[in-house]
Chains A and B, each alone.
Chain A
């Protein structure tokens, strides 16, 4: 059954965008269970899918285009109503973070927090990977403490080191590859979020729905591979 506040719409003739209602935390959980439902019983003709915080994009094969208008409602209902096993337990990752980013001073000034408080607020939540994107393996972590919500930098940086831990708007994230970017840099982790040389199943450290704890350290313990646990 569609819960109150759930909506869906066509996103072009070959895709559907579902938006889950029920508040942020609920929506996030329901996106995760819809993804579980898809991976255990993929709808016929589904080409790919992308979870967002409260949204789920379903992309179908072009050959389904003519049937989609009449089948969409049924497909959506099946996905969002399928019960997921209660034993579903997300993976937990503990990542070490050295808080020495170039924007600490700016963020302290903007938020009125001192450095110690800023680090405490940023490293306290048990974060959920709401979605991955921007770059391969880049996690959008939620919920970021409200006091740390800031707009992007006026001038984006041209080059940001992979592993940089940053905040932007209502999210915190970790740059997974060297790239430009407009978020405020608080620190860095030594965890490798994306290793294109690895086998596919070991290429990405994080998956949507995983839990992440950021642990402030003065310097990294030696092995970054020990940072991930079941």
Chain B
């Protein structure tokens, strides 16, 4: 295996981390699953390069990151398109000394950059995904070097300009109604609270991160009765006493004591993850209508 210095980070921008599909088997010790915020896009980036699905990819949040390539490489991009003239959902060849700057504002907020075989990273409890709060972190900073596990510039016939079929990628500007399944306390909410939740045009609050997304748009009345803290699933829509919904995301706590009105369908959660602050998201009860084709 050749370990090759491939990328020098010149700026981390709004957020930069290495992610895979997250860790499993440690939730009962209070360790969140972590993993790519948009697992579908991360998977596509790996798939474009015929990588294993769990190969570590670079996750960028919005703009500002600047990456200098120290060797020629084949890369795959998925998720939000932020690099000038290098659109997502396809592979690109990058030259030595080429600098990729995340500078173009488009739909979506999370971008994934994969290389053949994945980045070489430390792992914690079986996953390369960082969780700085848990002390699992490589603390990527300007000046750091990212290494490739394999030859980053393989001569695979036909892979140099591979792209996803148009139906494979998501148009983050046009999310469908996101399916919501009843949460453990759904029946404790009043009819009017449930109605309000499903009728509101929600927007992701700026006060959101990899742990949780807060939603602006209305205040949902939480049931009066308190509940004992209990296990919480990623995608759960929690209603704290103040009424502002808080959706648990991959780095969020594994247990909690807020009422959960619902849980976003795991197949739809990436739409919420990729929603920009200010863009409208609406939910629908998953049980009521057949899944829309997309």
Residues of A within 8 A of B (CB): 9-15, 17, 35, 47-57, 59, 62, 131-138, 140, 169-171, 176-177, 179, 194, 196-197, 200, 203-204, 207-208
Contacts and interface: CB of A to CB of B under 8 A. Distances in A.
Contacts of A138: 30
B30 A12 contact: no
A12 B229 contact: no
A55 to B, nearest CB: 5
Contacts of B134: 135-136, 177, 194, 196
Interface string B188-230: 0000000000000000000000000000000000000010111
Nearest to A53: B228
A208 B24 CA distance: 17
A13 B181 contact: yes
B231 A52 contact: yes
B231 A55 contact: yes
Contacts of A57: 27, 230-231, 233
A135 B27 contact: no
Contact of A13 (B24, B27, B33, B266): B266
Contacts of B233: 11-12, 15, 57, 59
A17 B24 contact: no
B34 to A, nearest CB: 11
A196 B265 contact: no
B284 to A, nearest CB: 14
Contacts of A35: 28
Interface of B: 24-31, 33, 124-126, 133-136, 181-184, 226, 228-231, 233, 235, 253-257, 263-267, 286
Nearest to B124: A196
28 contacts: A10-B182, A11-B263, A12-B263, A12-B264, A12-B265, A13-B181, A14-B266, A17-B230, A47-B24, A48-B26, A50-B254, A50-B255, A52-B230, A52-B231, A53-B230, A57-B231, A62-B266, A131-B231, A132-B30, A133-B253, A134-B30, A169-B226, A170-B228, A176-B30, A194-B135, A204-B29, A207-B28, A207-B29
Nearest to A49: B28
Nearest to B31: A136
B257 to A, nearest CB: 8
Q: Which 9 A-B pairs have the closest CB atoms?
A: A133-B255, A196-B135, A50-B231, A57-B231, A12-B263, A132-B30, A133-B30, A52-B230, A12-B181
Nearest to B134: A136
Contacts of B235: 12
A204 B124 CA distance: 13
Contacts of A169: 226, 228-229, 257
B29 A137 contact: yes
Given A17-B231, A133-B254, A140-B229, A9 B27 contact: no
A55 B126 CA distance: 26
Contact of A11 (B26, B183, B254): B183
- Name which of B136, B228, B263 has the most chain A CB atoms within 10 A of its CB: B228
Contact of B135 (A49, A54, A59, A177): A177
Nearest to B181: A12
Contacts of B229: 52-53, 131, 133-134, 140, 169, 171
- Name which of A49, A56, A133, A177 has the most chain B CB atoms within 10 A of its CB: A133
A154 B135 CA distance: 28
